[in-house]
Chains A and B, each alone.
Chain A
Amino acid sequence: MTEERTRGGTAGVGAPVVLEMRGVTKTFGPVRANDGVSITLGRGEILGLLGENGAGKSTLMKILYGLYSPDEGEVIVDGERAEIKDPKDAVSRGIGMVHQHFTLIPALTVAENIVLGAEPRKGATLDLARAIRDTEELSERYGLRVNPRTRVADLSVGEQQRVEILKTLYRKARILVLDEPTAVLTPQETEDLFSVLKELVADGLSIILITHKLGELLGISDRITIIRDGKVVETVEAAGTDEGALARLMVGREVLLRVEKTEAKVGEARLSAEGLVVRSGAGAKAVDEIGLEVRGGEILGVAGVDGNGQTELAEALAGTRPAESGVVRLDGEDVTRVGANGRQERGLAYVPEDRGTKGLVQDFSLSENNALKTYDEAPFSKWGWIFPKAMRRRAAEALRAYDVRPPDPDARAGSLSGGNQQKAVLARELSGDPGVIIAAQPTRGVDVGAIEFIHRQLLEQRSQGKAILLISLELEEVRSLSDRIAVIYDGRIVGEVGPDATDEELGLLMAGRTGGEKGA
């Protein structure tokens, strides 16, 4: 506990206040997403907004941007009460927002995206030349390098984010809200982004940064407001706190930031791939000659920035996407031509990255979902009949074992929270005692409590001698669970490192720079 901590309110803001949200309350049915939330933002300040998934950060920011209207409370911009009914009002008040999921149009050019809705005109026509000039000017001024003539579809994720920021600056934003901006970036790109943000606040802008990554916030923000269950827990000075204290405030109890891991007892190779080539839905070579081997009793982590072939790799290994060439082996047997069902019968469990559409049938009950892969086997089925009672009984056991709430086999899968949906997927996949587990982003969008549980389950499986392939965008997760880390870039494994590799080392690999250039 540090002395510098202040309770809510305006204390701690040295500069004039540009934005204040007072007593904001917003309910969705029975859920209080925001419950009397108050925050203040000073001129030239970076305020971190920290909280778990579902704590109410995004709701609060959507209210600020006019996407939701609050039940109670007020927004004060530059000392003046602001009625913000839609994004247009927010923009006219100088509020800009960079959403977690970009709102760019891939088919249009950078300049077209930036000026959309506020187009420079020459008579009745669109003055594209000026749009390009204005974009260039802004991008130069703040070091947001991007070519205005390029189509957004051809940009990297980091560049797309720059376009999003440029979009707000073009609309003369003075208050910038960034929602989980680093989720899609490599460590180096994150650094680039942060230096741009520093440039912006030096120019007098004020920034609200939403994230659940503790370490980052400490480095960049001036103050941090922690939100839990829709309420502000505390507002602290970044300089006077540490990760442990923030995690405690965020979750409301002690959290193990790093899971305890026993020594690996590595056995035989159980899952392997050689020269695997897989094409994406669009026809591009998404996986390009990948070879890997996962042995019993170890976790092989695959780290990389989103969209570098992870999805296709996982699906090709699980058998839900055809491999163009190469070989996949399960316990030594060539299963390249064996479908997903056959691989599952041979002891492969697959936790797909998108539990909402690929892991569960949202409109089915939990017991039906639990039997989704084994409905045609005893005890669920005999002589072409299925036995719902047996399905329900098995599901009830599995749900209890995996702490799914509610543990009700008749509950609709879609009615569960993200974390519980994921635990339900895990319950189905792991209860069949598989030998090999492919876990693709097992904790994406899952709250901290569930993350801890899922991590412990994976480590438990590891100690039972299972071979686990963990594909994740969360560097911290890969690092804390894996025995070896393979870095994927542009469909290739560009390097393999141990779990004690530095951020810089991993970051360079994730950006596709291998071995020789490391020193540069």
Chain B
Amino acid sequence: MDEIFGAPGQLLASTIRNATPLVFAALGGMFSERSGVVNIGLEGLMLISAFAGVVGAFLSGSAVVALGFALAAGLIFALIHALMCVTFEADQIISGTAINLLALGGTGFLMVSIFGSGGTSPRVEGFGEVPIPLLSGIPVVGPALFSQSVLVYLMYVMVPVTFFVLFRTPFGLRLRATGESPEAVDTAGVSVGRMRYYGVALSGLLASLGGIYLSMGILSAFTEGMTNGRGFIALAALIFGRWNPIGATGAALLFGFALAVTFSAPQEVIPNEFLQMIPYVLTIVALAVFGGRAIAPAAIGKPYRKE
């Protein structure tokens, strides 16, 4: 086993690294979809933030500024989605697709105008690994889980936090209610539009954490199209995990594992092309098997119009 997939510790560490952007994006998607707005724009939200983070780091040399850039980019793009879907009652799938195309084309264009050429950006100072004392000393598991980037630790924290927000706060109750029955929320005197804006905005912020982790946590540069379908895999993880933070995280870890296998298996044994298919095939299989039975928020995808 070891010679094929590397040491179990390495595989676990790689699983965590690959799952982290998926977890962030899935948690973000959860806020959006629980409020009733489908967000297939996660891919674009991650991509634009991955790029904005690198630009921030390039200009300032500071990771904090980079993070600010990424969050702002994710938020702005998410608000565009909210404006389309909530205010203008546009088709949510079309708006999400537009976000994805805008991010892809926009980053390609800005690559040239900012860095002078397409492809890959100059290297920037990324988020380095920060081993946590004591915990990182645990054999095998320690280095894999606790010798990671700050963003990974933030991911660990965000999972219970989103769970708590969703199920233990008035905000969470209202958000869940909005995705299930906007009419009921409206008659209860809560603004449906505002809840949906919050939901979509949160999805932008969380997805941007996933995005910046891709460009500055795993790599230290931006590459065009580097999200490579991860936003859609995160969406699948969200459905697979039944719109629940714990479930979505579990599903994201599974997909992260599949990605890790792809990267760590040696190409001499299995052709590379087949390996690279694994996460996507797994996504299709998971959706085919569990997608039908998953219970989506009842009012998802439907614009709400007061009579």
**Which among A67, A99, A106, A118 is the interface contact of B180 at CB below 8 angstroms?**
A106
Query: What residues on B are CB-neighbors of A116 within 8 Å?
Result: 173-174, 177, 184-185, 188, 190
Interface hit among A119-127, A142-150, A173-181: A119-127
B89 within 8 A of A: no
Q: For the complex, what is the distance from the CA of A67 to the CA of B183, rounded to whole Å?
A: 11
Chain B residue with Cβ nearest A123: B169
Query: What residues on B are CB-neighbors of A108 within 8 Å?
Result: 173, 176-177, 180
Query: What residues on A are CB-neighbors of B189 within 8 Å?
Result: 86-88, 91, 117-118
B69 shortest CB reach to chain A, Å: 29
Query: What are the interface flags for B167-192 relative to A under an 8 Å C-beta threshold, 1 for contact and 0 otherwise?
Result: 01110111011001101111111100
Query: What residues on A are CB-neighbors of B169 within 8 Å?
Result: 124-126
Query: What are the interface flags for A100-129 relative to B under an 8 Å C-beta threshold, 1 for contact and 0 otherwise?
Result: 000111111000110111110100111010
A341 shortest CB reach to chain B, Å: 29
B273 within 8 A of A: no
B127 shortest CB reach to chain A, Å: 30
Q: For the complex, what is the distance from the CA of A124 to the CA of B173, rounded to whole Å?
A: 13
B2 within 8 A of A: no
Q: For the complex, what is the distance from the CA of A126 to the CA of B176, rounded to whole Å?
A: 13
Query: What are the interface flags for A64-97 relative to B under an 8 Å C-beta threshold, 1 for contact and 0 otherwise?
Result: 0001000000000000000000111001000001
Asked if residues A118 and B188 are in contact (CB atoms below 8 Å), the reply is yes
Chain B residue with Cβ nearest A86: B189
Asked if residues B180 and A121 are in contact (CB atoms below 8 Å), the reply is no
Query: What residues on B are CB-neighbors of A115 within 8 Å?
Result: 173
B39 shortest CB reach to chain A, Å: 20
B268 within 8 A of A: no
Query: What residues on B are CB-neighbors of A125 within 8 Å?
Result: 164, 168-169
Query: What residues on A are CB-neighbors of B164 within 8 Å?
Result: 125
A356 shortest CB reach to chain B, Å: 16
Query: What residues on A are CB-neighbors of B176 within 8 Å?
Result: 107-108
A153 shortest CB reach to chain B, Å: 10
Chain B residue with Cβ nearest A112: B173
Query: What residues on A are CB-neighbors of B168 within 8 Å?
Result: 125-126, 128
Asked if residues A105 and B186 are in contact (CB atoms below 8 Å), the reply is no
Asked if residues B170 and A126 are in contact (CB atoms below 8 Å), the reply is yes
B266 shortest CB reach to chain A, Å: 47
Chain A residue with Cβ nearest B168: A125
Asked if residues A119 and B170 are in contact (CB atoms below 8 Å), the reply is yes
Chain A residue with Cβ nearest B186: A87
Query: What residues on B are CB-neighbors of A126 within 8 Å?
Result: 168-170, 172-173
Residue from the set B164, B173, B186, B190 with the largest chain A CB neighbour count within 10 Å: B173
Asked if residues A107 and B185 are in contact (CB atoms below 8 Å), the reply is no
Q: For the complex, what is the distance from the CA of A124 to the CA of B170, rounded to whole Å?
A: 8
B307 within 8 A of A: yes
Chain B residue with Cβ nearest A120: B170
Residue from the set B168, B177, B185, B189 with the largest chain A CB neighbour count within 10 Å: B189
Q: For the complex, what is the distance from the CA of A107 to the CA of B299, rounded to whole Å?
A: 12
Asked if residues A103 and B187 are in contact (CB atoms below 8 Å), the reply is yes
Chain B residue with Cβ nearest A128: B168
Chain B residue with Cβ nearest A62: B307
Q: For the complex, what is the distance from the CA of A386 to the CA of B188, rounded to whole Å?
A: 52
A58 shortest CB reach to chain B, Å: 11
A63 shortest CB reach to chain B, Å: 13
Chain A residue with Cβ nearest B188: A117
Chain B residue with Cβ nearest A91: B189
Given A86-B189, A107-B176 in contact, is the A67-B298 Cβ separation under 8 Å? no
Q: For the complex, what is the distance from the CA of A97 to the CA of B183, rounded to whole Å?
A: 13
B292 shortest CB reach to chain A, Å: 11
Query: What are the interface flags for B130-172 relative to A under an 8 Å C-beta threshold, 1 for contact and 0 otherwise?
Result: 0000000000000000000000000000000000100011101
Query: What residues on B are CB-neighbors of A99 within 8 Å?
Result: 187
B192 shortest CB reach to chain A, Å: 11
B300 shortest CB reach to chain A, Å: 12
Query: What are the interface flags for B284-307 relative to A under an 8 Å C-beta threshold, 1 for contact and 0 otherwise?
Result: 000000000001011000000001
Query: What residues on A are CB-neighbors of B297 within 8 Å?
Result: 107
Given A116-B190, A126-B169 in contact, is the A105-B307 Cβ separation under 8 Å? no
Q: For the complex, what is the distance from the CA of A97 to the CA of B184, rounded to whole Å?
A: 12
Asked if residues A104 and B184 are in contact (CB atoms below 8 Å), the reply is yes
Asked if residues A104 and B190 are in contact (CB atoms below 8 Å), the reply is no
Asked if residues A105 and B177 are in contact (CB atoms below 8 Å), the reply is yes
Given A112-B173, A116-B190, A117-B174 in contact, is the A107-B184 Cβ separation under 8 Å? no
Chain A residue with Cβ nearest B164: A125
Q: For the complex, what is the distance from the CA of A117 to the CA of B185, rounded to whole Å?
A: 7
A132 shortest CB reach to chain B, Å: 13
Q: For the complex, what is the distance from the CA of A113 to the CA of B181, rounded to whole Å?
A: 11
Q: For the complex, what is the distance from the CA of A107 to the CA of B184, rounded to whole Å?
A: 12
Q: For the complex, what is the distance from the CA of A106 to the CA of B295, rounded to whole Å?
A: 12
Query: What residues on A are CB-neighbors of B298 within 8 Å?
Result: 106-107
Given A116-B173, A125-B169 in contact, is the A87-B187 Cβ separation under 8 Å? yes
Asked if residues A121 and B187 are in contact (CB atoms below 8 Å), the reply is no
Query: What residues on A are CB-neighbors of B180 within 8 Å?
Result: 105-108
Query: What residues on B are CB-neighbors of A113 within 8 Å?
Result: 184
Q: For the complex, what is the distance from the CA of A47 to the CA of B90, rounded to whole Å?
A: 43
Query: What residues on A are CB-neighbors of B174 within 8 Å?
Result: 116-117
B251 shortest CB reach to chain A, Å: 20
Query: What residues on A are CB-neighbors of B187 within 8 Å?
Result: 87, 97, 99, 103
Q: For the complex, what is the distance from the CA of A107 to the CA of B298, rounded to whole Å?
A: 9
A90 shortest CB reach to chain B, Å: 9
Using A87-B186, A107-B295 as known contacts, list a sample of 16 further A-B pairs with CB atoms less than 8 Å apart, ordered by residue number in A. Answer: A91-B189, A103-B183, A103-B184, A106-B180, A107-B297, A108-B177, A116-B173, A116-B184, A116-B185, A117-B185, A117-B188, A119-B170, A124-B169, A125-B168, A125-B169, A126-B173
What are 26 A-B interface contacts by the 8 Å CB criterion? A67-B307, A87-B187, A88-B189, A99-B187, A103-B187, A104-B181, A105-B181, A105-B184, A107-B295, A107-B298, A108-B173, A108-B180, A112-B173, A112-B177, A115-B173, A116-B174, A116-B184, A116-B188, A116-B190, A117-B189, A117-B190, A118-B189, A119-B170, A121-B170, A125-B169, A126-B168
Leading 8 A-B pairs by shortest Cβ distance:
A117-B188, A88-B189, A119-B170, A103-B184, A105-B180, A105-B181, A117-B190, A116-B188
